[in-house]
Amino acid sequence: MNTSTAPAPTLATVRIGLVSTSDRASAGAYVDEGIPALRQWLGQAVRNPLHFEERLIPDEQPLIEATLIELADRAHCDLVLTTGGTGPAPRDVTPEATLAVADRLMPGFGEQMRQISLHFVPTAILSRQVGVIRGRTLILNLPGRPRAIAETLGGLKNTETGEVIAHGIFAAVPYCLDLIGAACIETIPEACQAFRPGK
CATH 3.40.980.10 for the 14-180 domain, yes or no = yes
Q: By C-alpha distance, which of 64, 42, 37, 70 is closest to 146?
A: 37
Average pLDDT, the chain: 93
In the chain the first and final C-alpha atoms are separated, in Å, by: 33
Burial (CB < 10 A; 0-12, 13-18, 19+), residue 2, is: exposed
| pLDDT score at 3 | 47
Kindly report, residue by residue over 66-103, the tens digit of the pLDDT: 999 999 999 999 999 999 999 999 999 999 999 999 99
| pLDDT score at 23 | 86
| pLDDT score at 157 | 84
The mean per-residue pLDDT over the stretch 119-129 comes to 93
Kindly report, residue by residue over 148-182, the tens digit of the pLDDT: 999 999 998 888 887 888 899 999 999 999 999 99
